[in-house]
Structure 1
């Protein structure tokens, strides 16, 4: 069979189409390609700085066009990229993060209200986000110095397309591009105006979304411009709307509920040395304590604390967090001469968002483990306190303290509410042009950019533990303090009065800021001809400066905040870089087929924090025939430590940890060796873990390998059954050394108990009652990450008939390996097919889209598949909900979501009118129950929000 000559644009389009099949609606109805050969202008695509006519490079670039994005029904850049099959779990408005996750070890805060992107499950910090090829400022979380980009600061209204490179690209773009690059290409101009209005709603109560996008542009002989504004509002959904989110862990009742209850839990010793673990009876204003009743059979107003007394915190949380975003933007391009142009781009955005958690508990006593002296070592609940029913002091002071744990949930103060106000501005400009060298065209550009993201977070419903201490002490001492009111924490709900709350409940305000300034210069062109064609190159230099700061509320700095303590973080660093890239044609039209090209790139970076580092990349592109493309690349990469990782001060986050030595296990030899006394019962599953930045951190280093093929068989083109058929496959492998991490706290404890690992056992401290009172988890270059897998894609476009044109797109990712090796050379539990720590790596995930175009109509149906996962029963052994209690395994079944959209467009009104209606999760599929997930009974980073989402969208061009 004789192969047909390949039209210059054919394989390029084939590559793009085969890689577009990631999202609903990525299939296109295209006219049959013109058979006349065309000459393509040189352009630059993500993954290389060299401008060329060939769009298919040595690495695959997934291009998400505006048309494909609109067919998803998504309202944000984050929603679009988070649904790629190669994306991992990352922040979104489905994650009700504040208050429950504390301060993560990287010093970046919880990023409440933000949305990030994770590629290859390597974390958002290892993905570089660009806007028109230029870096975007990192987010400000309100609770730390963020190290990844908040995609909510980039309105979807300005996006023309999104290019996603899932390969290491540090030699081209510098730090952070270990897992890949997301390059958001903005609209450069328009002729006239565009209005787009969308409304959507879930079948759960709340969660409705509204958006309005406006833009207007024009052009003259030498200028092109566009301005616009965007508004988006999403309302919250309470956890009470989803049945499986209304218990702490679905199917286990209150077994994993909180021991801090509205009635209060007390573990203490009386003057005779008798120890009690009791709680007051419901509805008791001032309970009566009978010291003669030392057992659990009591006639006073107390009973022994049991699982049935635990508090169900789940209904107070949110399934979907509220989020309102407003932005204005503009861009202008002016041609000074035929060879020199200038441009300017500006954006300002605001975000108001919120998170909510159950009423904040406070834990007092020597076993509290909250790293607060007012709660652990300086507390005396005076016998003179009018609400103390015991008749003696309860104290944590001195050689013989008798107050071990007092947990109280002051529901009178309402839920914790965290409200964020984030402002981001961005300004960039530059010059670019062309000139000739030996009759060869060279392109150059010079760019400058300055940007800032500033956030404040206001927290209500939290408490001042110093004021609690004072209110529980001697009433005479309290009376001497202005505003102090004695506190009643021994009765049931309602005993804490408004006046008491006024003394112990402050409004906590935190603020943070990130700034980025940069300047860059690039040049690209053809140097000279060699045996197989012109030798092309690109070279450039870049300077960047990062500044970040986080200022917690003064009561937090003073150590009085009952919640998660932290200190001030301030830091900055600068970097100077230079790079060079070559594209070397090795063969043309001969033994090696149509073409064989080699690409070589290198970059050197000089950081003010740790010095210099270099990276390189080599790629091979082989087209043995018109319809077949083979390619491979090997790249070195690195990620510089972020400001939070370097300069983050001592802070705390509360990790949910199941102590392996709890209850019956306390007498095993391993637990005895760990200092656990017989009959030990873990007081609280939430263990406070102290973390901090580390100025001695070194950059992470990576190696990435990619090999793949794209096949567009000519025998399938313009046949009776196909207008086009494109098939693609890519193998990837990433290895990261010196990964910056704080080891997983649960894994540390398990390792210590199982193997007496010295590092693990030195990380935490128990008191003589067995309770964990100190847990340290400091950042270091500890880990090695190895991951590999395959991407598959196919695009099949049927011939156009009188019934329109039908197309099918399939995209799948198969993760064959993910291994995180800790500092002791052992593998952490995270891996393919496993749910752990509120995130998962499905072995298989895929998207299959059917697209039908008929005249002015388009119908799109998408199926999204997530493979089954397994998790530990998370302390649920013996419960029926656990799939296999004996093996400590629970399976989360495979899940398939169905999305549909129908749209109609006409040019008869104005310049164009388009109406679209759609449903995401057509069959109202609920996510599988997750036992180990912290909130709401499912993993929101892997699965859709429970409930069907229906939307309508109207677009007008004028």
Structure 2
């Protein structure tokens, strides 16, 4: 087909030609003339529009038909089940996660991090959070035409963030008629109800088209108490009450008349009220037993609930035969819900330091109305679990005017485009206690003339909403000051609101065409300029900023930067239609980016395609890449968290250095065993701190840099019709990675390697445990990864029993190393292949059968075995205690492989409808316990299915 023929060119109205990505379609006039429709003239990974460009790079395309044969109802779920996808950045199982990005759904190609995978919608960037994460829940499934995944670095083509690859979600356009769809599903356990309703309408005229897609989706939360691996505690079914939190909903106190009740005391005895006992009588208490500990999982969501409402509109209009307009408009509301157990209140912790006043009417040390001593207590605030409702509203407008012209016998395409994307987030939280209110409720109180406990003293009462609190009343025990009292809850537990706004604005201009005709074909080029501005803010509630609540402290994030870019891409045909060189083509691209915050950077890419014979193609690429520091990286406010870590000064730590010089100098006893929440000895490592640690941003960060190389074969043997085989090798090297300077890294540098400068931010209590730590982000990371992708597609000849097709995709990870240091202080690369999410092998095989109006699609998703660190204490979970790595002991626990099976059966009804029923994880396969809780808040890998999911889909076309 001649692309220069006006009859053909008239109908090419690509959306977002600015990035040369969108599909093209033929106009009504073209259809009337009988000219062949063009499916598309460009693919992800190049801005030079040519039918053979997609073969130069490893690109996976998922069509709408493919998506409909799966049982997943969101773009994120589809992408996270690709073999080349890494662990979910924030899985729905990470109930304990907090911050701006919680509630979003992200994709991570090659396990290089979601922030290093660029996500596009019709060739233009999705709006990102201040941390640079692009939320795929913004895109309604009903609007998706296809998804193209470029598994290669592409910063020279798209700029920052395209280190691991590019995901381009291409939406439906030029629809004529309508379609309505209903999707309902539920786990076999009877929970996690899912429903999705969508409608797409479209109309076309002689010069334009309009497509509208609306969707409502809802997935109910799943609770930890309803799954075998989470209901009993951190060790799954192996948990006992001794593994639970000693900060119990039964409430405990330490009698200062009998014991040393200081925060670091090892002799304190914590007592709880006898059943039916008098809370003001010190003799009506007994020492807390493990059977009365708190199993926090009883109140936690295992999977967050999510609701989404979205409307997508695409419009096209031909101003003339050579000038066209394409516009995308998207409005989306996403709401997610998560819940964790009531706060573990410790009155003598450094962040709270609010005991029960000796002048409180509820103080058991008071005698005959005479005030006693202040009482330290611990109380899980079980009556008011901590809930977070995260809302995100997205408004996106992306117009593009494009056209073509002839000059000197050559055809040229041009476009001018813009993008305005605004994300507004609102987080509403409840369940953390106001420390201002707590000081009043726990302070002096008295009994008024009506026998009611009041705040203050009889001579100086505290008026208003104040209600005295009796923290020594266990959960479920009534009485004055009970936390079950609604008025007391209203006083102590305010609603916290955090707001965030991010805006992306870009303007682009591009020109593409052919410069000259060489003996092997046209020398194609694309060139253009782009201006982009990113701005964002994230403003925590005033309580979080001031630290006047039991919640994690946060400071505001606010900042902006802009950039100007220019690029040039060339596609040079070297040989064509020769012996052993049916095609030999070189593709080159380079981009210069000038950022307002750190300066300029240039990144280039080279690709070579060689087709020695018609059925065999050899391809390879070399690409430079970069990721610019985000607003959060540069301007993020301080935030606090309860971190999980391994203290090398503890005697049970792998490679323990207990008693060495740096540990002794810090006052850590030689026999110190790492302590966790409630100053309880940690039963597993890593162990979560009972104290808040503080982290923050770094305005002096520089960009990450990367180099990626790929080489591959695509073979379509002529003697096996319908068979396509591809094999690609890849290698990535990333330097100056922007990473959070972790607690483990700091403690190792300080106490194992003896770097005293790294000890400055570490504060230890008198008993040896780390009570405070401050750290930030830095360009400290380096990593290397390498592997292979194998794809086999075979469409068998049609048989009497129907049409069969097979799609088998496999990823093999041969290397995934991150920079670290061993005990000798040597810089080494630490191999992580085999950890949860970093599977040696991931493989999906899909078999599709169709006969007449019936179809069956079966998919098997395979994951190779996993490993996790453990403590060599002879316990059941450490099955490789003698494992060594880099000259150091590294006890491991290893698990076997896992396969999940999916099945869908469909029928095309005579009234132009399709009915499908199916099951994901058909055989209800259960993954192994993972005590390190990877990508999860529970002892299970957060990327695995949590049960059999049954669903039904009905689609009506009209």
Give the structure-1-normalised TM-score: 0.86
Distance 2:676 2:185 in 1: 45
Answer yes or no: is 1:328 the counterpart of 2:318.
no
Answer yes or no: is 1:955 the counterpart of 2:955.
yes
Q: CA deviation at 1:822?
A: 4.6
Q: CA deviation at 1:383?
A: 2.0
The residue that corresponds to 2:765 in the other structure is 767
Q: 8 Å contact 1:576–1:605 — kept in the other structure?
A: yes
Q: 8 Å contact 1:635–1:704 — kept in the other structure?
A: yes
Aligned structure 1 segments of 4 or more residues deviating by more than 6 angstroms: 38-42, 663-667
The residue that corresponds to 2:272 in the other structure is 281
The residue that corresponds to 2:556 in the other structure is 568
The residue that corresponds to 2:122 in the other structure is 132
The residue that corresponds to 1:29 in the other structure is none
The residue that corresponds to 1:801 in the other structure is 799
Q: CA deviation at 1:64?
A: 0.3
Distance 1:233 1:101 in 2: 21
- Partner deviation per Cα, 1:152-173 (whole Å, 9 max, x = no partner): 1110111000000011100100
The residue that corresponds to 1:504 in the other structure is 492
Q: CA deviation at 1:289?
A: 8.0
Q: 8 Å contact 1:244–1:936 — kept in the other structure?
A: no
Written as runs of structure 1 = structure 2, the 5 A alignment for 1:92-103 is 94-97=92-95, 100-103=96-99
Distance 2:281 2:741 in 1: 44
> Residues 248 and 349 of structure 1: is their aligned pair in 2 closer, same or farther, counting only changes over 3 Å?
same
Task: State which drifts further: 761-770 or 747-756.
Answer: 747-756
Written as runs of structure 1 = structure 2, the 5 A alignment for 1:383-532 is 383-390=358-365, 406-413=377-384, 415-475=385-445, 476=456, 479-480=461-462, 482-493=464-475, 494=477, 495-498=482-485, 499-532=487-520
Structure scoring higher RCO (CA < 8 A, sep ≥ 6) equals 1
Distance 2:633 2:253 in 1: 38
- Partner deviation per Cα, 1:342-383 (whole Å, 9 max, x = no partner): 111111111222001011222332xx35xx3xx24xx45432
The residue that corresponds to 1:897 in the other structure is 900
Task: State which drifts further: 549-558 or 246-255.
Answer: 246-255
**Secondary structure, aligned partner of 2:747:** helix
- Partner deviation per Cα, 1:542-585 (whole Å, 9 max, x = no partner): 11111111111122222202111101111111111110000111
Q: CA deviation at 1:651?
A: 0.8
The residue that corresponds to 1:206 in the other structure is 191
Distance 1:114 1:830 in 2: 30
Match of 2:104 among 97, 114, 119: 114
The residue that corresponds to 1:942 in the other structure is 943
Q: Which runs of 5+ in 2 are unaligned?
A: 1-35, 368-372, 446-455, 678-686, 884-890
Q: CA deviation at 1:535?
A: 1.1
Written as runs of structure 1 = structure 2, the 5 A alignment for 1:237-276 is 237-246=222-231, 247-250=233-236, 251-265=238-252, 275=265, 276=267
**Secondary structure, aligned partner of 1:777:** strand
Q: 8 Å contact 1:41–1:52 — kept in the other structure?
A: no
**Secondary structure, aligned partner of 2:612:** strand
- Partner deviation per Cα, 1:266-301 (whole Å, 9 max, x = no partner): 5786688685332223546655787xxxxxxxx872
> Residues 160 and 42 of structure 1: is their aligned pair in 2 closer, same or farther, counting only changes over 3 Å?
closer
Distance 1:582 1:256 in 2: 62
Q: CA deviation at 1:521?
A: 1.1
Distance 1:668 1:41 in 2: 66
Q: 8 Å contact 2:808–2:843 — kept in the other structure?
A: yes
Q: 8 Å contact 2:576–2:582 — kept in the other structure?
A: yes
Distance 2:639 2:826 in 1: 27
Distance 2:102 2:39 in 1: 44
Distance 2:895 2:242 in 1: 20
Task: State which drifts further: 796-805 or 578-587.
Answer: 796-805
Q: 8 Å contact 2:274–2:284 — kept in the other structure?
A: no
Q: 8 Å contact 1:592–1:624 — kept in the other structure?
A: yes
Match of 1:589 among 577, 587, 604: 577
The residue that corresponds to 1:879 in the other structure is 875
Q: 8 Å contact 2:844–2:859 — kept in the other structure?
A: yes
The residue that corresponds to 2:67 in the other structure is 69
Q: CA deviation at 1:307?
A: 5.1
Q: CA deviation at 1:702?
A: 0.8
Q: CA deviation at 1:831?
A: 1.3
Distance 1:669 1:881 in 2: 27
Written as runs of structure 1 = structure 2, the 5 A alignment for 1:721-736 is 724-736=722-734
Q: 8 Å contact 1:252–1:879 — kept in the other structure?
A: no
* Cα RMSD (Å): 2.7
Match of 1:215 among 200, 208, 233: 200
Q: 8 Å contact 2:273–2:284 — kept in the other structure?
A: no
The residue that corresponds to 1:534 in the other structure is 522
Distance 2:258 2:714 in 1: 80
Match of 1:46 among 31, 44, 47: 44
Q: 8 Å contact 1:789–1:814 — kept in the other structure?
A: yes
**Secondary structure, aligned partner of 2:57:** coil
Distance 2:644 2:588 in 1: 47
Q: 8 Å contact 2:388–2:427 — kept in the other structure?
A: yes
Match of 2:850 among 853, 873, 882: 853
**Secondary structure, aligned partner of 1:556:** helix
Q: 8 Å contact 1:280–1:492 — kept in the other structure?
A: no
**Secondary structure, aligned partner of 1:468:** helix
Distance 1:356 1:601 in 2: 48
Q: CA deviation at 1:412?
A: 2.4
Distance 1:360 1:323 in 2: 24
Q: 8 Å contact 1:119–1:166 — kept in the other structure?
A: yes
The residue that corresponds to 1:148 in the other structure is 133
Distance 1:615 1:510 in 2: 38
Q: CA deviation at 1:667?
A: 10
> Residues 220 and 579 of structure 1: is their aligned pair in 2 closer, same or farther, counting only changes over 3 Å?
same
Q: 8 Å contact 1:278–1:302 — kept in the other structure?
A: no
Q: 8 Å contact 1:168–1:177 — kept in the other structure?
A: yes
Task: State which drifts further: 586-595 or 426-435.
Answer: 586-595
The residue that corresponds to 1:603 in the other structure is 591
The residue that corresponds to 2:922 in the other structure is 922
